Structure formats: C-alpha cells, structure tokens
Amino acid sequence: MSRPRIVFVTYYRLVPTGQIGIFKRCMRLISRLLDDFEIHLVNFGPLPHTDPLFAEVSQRIEIHPTPDENLGDALHDLFQRLEPRAVVIGESPIRGSLRMAHRVACALGLWQITLDNFYGPLYPAAFIREFPRVDRWLALGLTPDGAPGFRADNVEVIPPLIRFPEGFGSLERDRIAVMGYDKQTLLTGSRLLDLLPADQKADFFIAPQWEAYLRSQCRHLDRPGVRVLSLPPDMELYGSLARSRLILGKAGFQQVVEGLLLGAPIVCQACGGGLEEVIVADYLKPYVRFVPSETALGTVMPVIAAWLDGPPVTRWSQMASEIADPLAYGAGRLAALVDEGP
C-alpha cells in the first residue's frame, strides 16, 4: 500500500542575509516522516547540498524544481498531479512564492499546515486572523509557563525541534558557543573571545566558506579548548549548546529558543528584521541580549560576565523529562495534524 504524500514548501536564500532556518526545520521534520509518508519538496532558492541532514534526507524524497515564470501554473499542475494528503508550508505564506503556493493549495482545496514561530501568547489568534484558509498551524517555541506546548483552536504549539544529548542536565557547562554562520556574527564572536579570560573554551560553528575569514580575524583558534566545527551534524551542535554557559548567535528566533531550551542564554548579533524590537516576548527577555556590532560588546559584558558565573537557564528544563525527543514529538504532532485532514 502506498504511503500518503506530503508536499513540503520551503525556501533557502543567501541574500540579503543567509536564511536557512525554515529549510532546516522542514528537513528535521521530514527526517522523521520518511517511513510513513511519501515526501515531496518544493524549495525556492538553492539547495544546500553541504548540509549533512539535507544530504541524508535528499536521497529519500522527491525534489521538484521551480520555474522562474508562471510559478502558479506550475504549482497547480504539480499539486494536481500529486494529490497530496497535505501541503506543509514552512512559514506563514505572507508574500512571494509561499503566498503563491498557499493560493494554489486553496484553489485546489488541499489540506494545509503551516509551520511558524511561537513568538508569544497573542500569535495563535494572529495566525488564524491573517491566514484563515490555512487549516492547521504548528508553532515552534517556548511557552511562558514552561509547559511543553498547548493547542488553541487550529494552532498547536510545540517545543523547538531539538534533541537533548545523553546526560542532558548533568553535563559540565565549560564553554561558550558561537553560531557563526554569517560574517558579522563570526567577527563579533572573535572580538568576544578577546574580552574573555585566556582559558575560556569556545566552539565556533561555521559554514565552510567562512573558515578563512574566521582564521584571519580570530587569534585564539589554536588554543586548547577552542574548536571550529564546520556544519556539524545536529547532535554535535546540541551537545555543544548543552555544555555552553552562553551562546553568541544571529538574531534568529529558533536559534534563540533552541539555545534556551538547552539551558544557555544568548547574545544576539542584531541582523535586521526587527527581532529585537518586536518578537522577543517579555518572558524571554531575561535570557536574551542584542548587540548591533562587535564594537558594542562592552555594553553587554556585565551581563555576559554574570551569565558565565551563573546557573544555566532552567525555566524550560522540565520539558526534557516530559518530552525526551522534541524532534520526534514535533514530527508526531505534524503527522497527527496531517491525519486531521479530510
């Protein structure tokens, strides 16, 4: 018996700033749905073939190219041919290609599930108001009360799609992590290390194209305890974050909440898009700081010093005992939302 089909619609873009988060969360979910569903992918933008998870997943899914012109007609033909059980849109279909995929799915009466960030308690109602023809929502984030999630009407809130490393909670926190997937965050991370004690351990997470730049900017890379990890597998990333006293990363929402769930507060390199002004809810603010550039690190050094000496973030740690594998949980909830369709 053939497996039901799901079409994932996502994007990956490099300019004006690198944005791979939407693509990655879809890949994570897909990785847990492959046995039960026939997965099809419509991606706008290039495919990140060097990403380890995508390299693994891509062998078992069907990837459909997208045309530069008449996208709506092409998606209509594709969706009509595939007759998917559901179309999963990687982010609210606000504009452009995702909006077109949403319009086409509406025209064909297809069951639609959209993934987005849970920015705070007001957002479920806002999703429904803005996009009433989306059938179900899966919102990823951290709840104010520390609970793993909840369901409000057609919106289900679930934890970020991470996995807890073995021994989570009892691992020694002895390092900082720099999520340096863009040039500016790498620069800020390099300057941060200049300001910390000479024996400070650090893990730099980078994309391969930034390694030469990092080596030109950071004079600490040959020190013991300083590692450079180029696009490591997810479990290596989670293992590092679960051992970190703080994270320096781009101001991306999932990066923030994944770090907090793993117990590390985060200093964000502001990167446009207004995250710092709008979408860090009050209950997240004690654990998040923003810096506009490497020259402004002095403004957050007192907080960084306190975080390096202080306890980890435990507000959401009960989740680790209730949901041992948030990624498997999230994929299970998505499968359940698919099954709610006609």
Q: Is residue 40 within 8 Å of 82, Cβ to Cβ? A: yes
Q: Which range, of 78-86, 99-107, 162-170, 232-240, touches another protein by CB under 8 A?
A: 99-107
Q: Does the protein bind another protein through residue 50 (CB under 8 A)?
A: no
Q: Which range, of 165-173, 260-268, 272-280, 282-290, touches another protein by CB under 8 A?
A: 272-280
Give yes or no for a cis peptide into 121 (omega within 30° of 0): no
Q: Is residue 5 within 8 Å of 85, Cβ to Cβ? A: yes
CB of 293 to another protein, least distance (A): 8
Instruction: Indicate which single residue of 1, 2, 15, 65 sits in contact with another protein (rule: CB under 8 A).
Output: 15
Residues numbered 126-185 forming contacts with another protein, rule: CB under 8 A? 130, 182-184
Instruction: Indicate which single residue of 71, 108, 147, 196 sits in contact with another protein (rule: CB under 8 A).
Output: 71
Beta strands in 135-264 (DSSP E): 136-140, 150-152, 155-158, 175-180, 201-206, 226-230, 244-250
H or E element at residue 39: strand 38-44
From the list 69, 112, 63, the residue with the least C-alpha distance to 92 is 112
Q: Which is nearer to another protein, 168 or 181 (CB)?
A: 181
CB of 137 to another protein, least distance (A): 17
Burial of 1 (0-12, 13-18, 19+ CB in 10 A): exposed
From the list 266, 259, 261, the residue with the least C-alpha distance to 241 is 259
Instruction: Indicate which single residue of 146, 167, 233, 292 sits in contact with another protein (rule: CB under 8 A).
Output: 292
Instruction: Indicate which single residue of 274, 302, 311, 342 sits in contact with another protein (rule: CB under 8 A).
Output: 274
Which residues of this chain interact with another protein, rule CB under 8 A? Answer: 14-18, 70-73, 75-76, 94-96, 99-100, 103-104, 106-107, 130, 182-184, 209-210, 269-274, 278, 292
